[in-house]
Amino acid sequence: MTWRDALLLAARGVSRRFGRAVLTVLAVGLAAALLTALLTIATTAETRVLNELSKGGPLAGIRVSAAAPDPSQVDQDDARPGPPRDLDAGAARRIAALPDVVSVVPVIAVHGFVIPPDPDVDPFLDTVVGVDLERTAQLPITVLEGRLPAPGALTEMAVTQGYLERLDLDPQEPEAVVGTEVEVASARFYPSLGDDEIRGRWTKALIVGVVAQEAAPGQFLASIEYARLAQDWRAAGGSGGFIEVTTSAYSGLFVVARGLDRVGPVRHQITAIGYSTSAPENLIATVQRYLRVVEIVLSAIGAIALVIASLGIASALLAAIRERRREIGVLKAIGARDRDVLRVFLVEASVIGFLGGVVGTAIGWIIARIVTSVVNGYLTAQGLIGVRLGLSVPIVTGGIVGSTLLALLAGVLPALRAARLPATEAVAGS
Amino acid sequence: MLEASQPREAVAITVRALRHHYRTPAGPLVVLDGLDLDVPAGGYVAVSGQSGAGKSTLLSILGGLERPKAGDVIVGGVNVAGLKGDELAAYRRSTVGFVFQHFGLLDTLSARENVELACALARVPRQRRRARAGDLLAAVGLQERTAHRPTQLSGGERQRVAIARAMANRPSVLLADEPTGNLDEDSTERVAALLESIHRDHACTLVVVTHNRRLAARASVRLALRDGKLVAA
Ligand SMILES: Nc1ncnc2c1ncn2[C@@H]1O[C@H](COP(=O)(O)OP(=O)(O)OP(=O)(O)O)[C@@H](O)[C@H]1O
Ligand SMILES: [Mg+2]
């Protein structure tokens, strides 16, 4: 008997005795469902949490400030910088040349005096963060609504959710500000003007998007070209009044290391070059450890369910074989070899496992969706972005292939027992 | 009838000094005790005997289902008592066809699939299998019932399917253990006629265990199993 014939026979056996197979299929299915749901939820949660920590940017990111390192802060995530130190293209090149550094993106943050369109909201002081908008993939920036300002644009800006809060708007409805305009001024000191010594360089900017960003503290994101113009104009007046001009070309750099485990060594080398760094490396490492534990616990629960299911398959198959002794005897009496019988029962077990896997993964996916929608409701209520559940191909194929293999394994003992039954079972008791 | 399944060639059965006992809690139960049997190629033997006489045991040994404790069982020049493993399976598959009192059909398969299963075990190619099963079922008068499952057939119909299956691999010997034991009179008559036609048209060697006089009457030799030996009935 060929494998194909065995498969046909087993498929008939399962489909035409489905009432009996259904419980076994369900047991496997529910176990597979549990495992699928747990793994889907665990992996989704992991991506979600890590994304939140890195604001959608690279996990191995390091912020370098235009300041000397404070020796007492070197190994801390949120290191307090030492005295100011100029950061220019030369320093950026030296850092970029370090081993394990993937990219270095300069950041220019400038103070801005902001007049929002809403007359009820008082003008306020904040920071415009200027970056090379061609390289946002290497920065901790996520677009929540709309788009990023065009690279090089001088009259386009994106804002953070903080800006919405400032305007007394719901941060969950970012579309409200996209398309509105805001006036931002860079201030400059004019000592010759006497009492009224401060003047502003005004820009009417179109808000094109809402972002979450951690490139530098600030509610406005603009092109580095805008920030450089504003900075140069301000610097031309020198320090005076409340204005303090820095001579640093960049206010900071965002450096990406080759991996999370390289963040520490790279930070040490940047410290050696003479700049203060900060990175959420300790936080991310801790969170990852916790997530790993959660994943292990969830997988263990799923695995126990699968073991229980496989014991169920084994006992159901043993019972079926006890019931089908005569049928097996007849198979042998009409010439089936031991391995033909073995084949039929192994294939039958696999068919049950496969069906259970398909049913179970589908159910598991549905469970994961339900859980996610509940979680999303909670996240939204907390003012956080929801989770998008991705149908993971490895989890689905793993669920189906795994259940099939498990059932196959559980079927080995019963199938061997069936194969060893004597042909005389065909006439026993007749 | 049954043109599709021309047997290879009828073979003779020779049994010498056959002994068989079963182990029971009360000690060995001797069932066959120095039994001799000669069936010429193409012969038709009916065996009767009291319940528990050992008729099924004898047939099981002839069919290669049970290994005798002692003695020779020569079927077509081969000593069945010496076969084991795959050789024994091949013997059951192609030399003999077995018909059971309880039909022995697989409930999950249709009539045609039951017949095809026997061909599948012999690795007959798929196309030929279907054709042969169709011809065999037509030959036993069930061409209208090929898609029915055993539970949808009458006892007589089931036994005819079982006979078609037994003939699937063109056996030289057909063994039937009380083939009409569960059938009413009409069905018995039909099955008896069928067996006779198989014997006549194919010179298939036939050994039938039966209590039914009408069925036994069609055999050329009638024997009875008594005290572990065969005697003329
Ligand atoms: N596997 C077995 N183990 C122990 N004893 C057995 C076994 N099979 C049969 N027997 C015994 O051997 C004897 C012969 O059994 P067998 O089935 O050959 O009788 P039979 O002539 O076919 O009877 P019946 O007409 O009732 O079918 C019986 O007494 C039976 O109880
Ligand atoms: Mg009997």
Write down the mean pLDDT value for chain B: 91
Tell me if A326 and B104 make a contact (CB, 8 A cut-off): yes
Chain B, 141-160: which have a CB under 8 Å from a chain A CB? 149
Q: Do A334 and A414 form a contact (C-beta atoms < 8 A)?
A: no
Query: What's the CA gap between A280 and A329, in Å, rounded?
Result: 69
Question: Could you report the per-residue pLDDT of A8-39, keeping only the tens digit for each?
Answer: 888 888 888 887 778 878 887 888 788 777 87
Question: Could you report the per-residue pLDDT of B89-131, keeping only the tens digit for each?
Answer: 999 999 999 999 999 999 999 999 999 999 999 999 999 999 9
Ligand with minimal distance to B224 CA: 1
Q: Do A260 and A279 form a contact (C-beta atoms < 8 A)?
A: no
CB nearest B118 (choices: A13, A326, A334): A334
Does residue A423 belong to the interface with chain B, where contact is any CB pair within 8 Å? yes
Cα angle value A162/A79/A71 (rounded, 5°): 160
Chain A residues whose CB is inside 8 A of the B122 CB are 335
Does residue A420 belong to the interface with chain B, where contact is any CB pair within 8 Å? no
Does residue A323 belong to the interface with chain B, where contact is any CB pair within 8 Å? no
B31 C-beta closer than 6 A to ligand 1: yes
Task: Report DSSP letters for A197-213, one per residue.
Answer: -EEEEEEEEEEEEEEEE
pLDDT value of residue B171: 92
Chain A residues whose CB is inside 8 A of the B89 CB are 332, 335-338, 340
pLDDT value of residue B116: 94
Chain A residues whose CB is inside 8 A of the B166 CB are 334
Ligand with minimal distance to B66 CA: 1
pLDDT value of residue A383: 59
Pocket test for ligand 1, best of B21, B56, B101 (most atoms within 8 A of CB): B56
- The structure tokens 């080759």 sit at A258
Nearest protein Cα to ligand 1, atom 18: B54
pLDDT value of residue B18: 95
Closest-CA distance of chain A to residue B128, Å? 14
Which residues contact residue A188 at a Cβ distance below 8 angstroms, ignoring those fewer than 6 apart?
A: A198, A199, A200, A201, A233, A234, A236, A237, A243
Nearest protein Cα to ligand 1, atom 13: B52
Question: Rounded mean pLDDT of B64-77?
Answer: 93
**Would you identify the CATH topology of the domain B13-232?**
Rossmann fold (3.40.50)
The pair of three-digit structure tokens given for residue A401, joined into one six-digit string: 């292939």
Tell me if A427 and B60 make a contact (CB, 8 A cut-off): yes
What distances in angstroms separate CA B36 from CA B19, B20, B50, B228, one per listed residue? 10, 13, 18, 10
Chain B residues whose CB is inside 8 A of the A335 CB are 89-90, 92-94, 118, 121-122, 169
B22 C-beta closer than 6 A to ligand 1: yes
Q: Is A191 or A66 the better-scoring residue by pLDDT?
A: A66
Question: Could you report the per-residue pLDDT of B165-221, keeping only the tens digit for each?
Answer: 999 999 999 999 999 988 898 989 999 999 998 888 887 899 999 999 989 999 999
Residue A409 in this model has a pLDDT that exceeds 60: yes
Does residue B12 belong to the interface with chain A, where contact is any CB pair within 8 Å? no
Q: Is A303 or B22 the better-scoring residue by pLDDT?
A: B22
Element of type H or E holding A63: strand A61-65
Nearest Cα to B76, choosing from B14, B166, B167, B168? B14
Closest-CA distance of chain B to residue A414, Å? 19
pLDDT tier for residue B20 given thresholds of 50, 70 and 90: very high
pLDDT tier for residue B9 given thresholds of 50, 70 and 90: confident
Return the minimum-mean-pLDDT range out of A12-16, A209-213, A276-280. Answer: A12-16
CA of B84: which chain A residue's CA is closest? Answer: A337
Ligand with minimal distance to B48 CA: 1
Q: How many CB atoms lie within 10 A of CB B127?
A: 8
The pair of three-digit structure tokens given for residue A413, joined into one six-digit string: 């003992």
Residue A177 in this model has a pLDDT that exceeds 60: yes
The complex's ipTM works out to 0.91
Closest-CA distance of chain A to residue B176, Å? 11
Residue A390 in this model has a pLDDT that exceeds 80: no
Q: Do A43 and A392 form a contact (C-beta atoms < 8 A)?
A: yes
CA of A15: which chain B residue's CA is closest? Answer: B108
Chain A residues whose CB is inside 8 A of the B66 CB are 422-424
Q: Is A11 or B7 the better-scoring residue by pLDDT?
A: A11
Q: Do B59 and B174 form a contact (C-beta atoms < 8 A)?
A: no
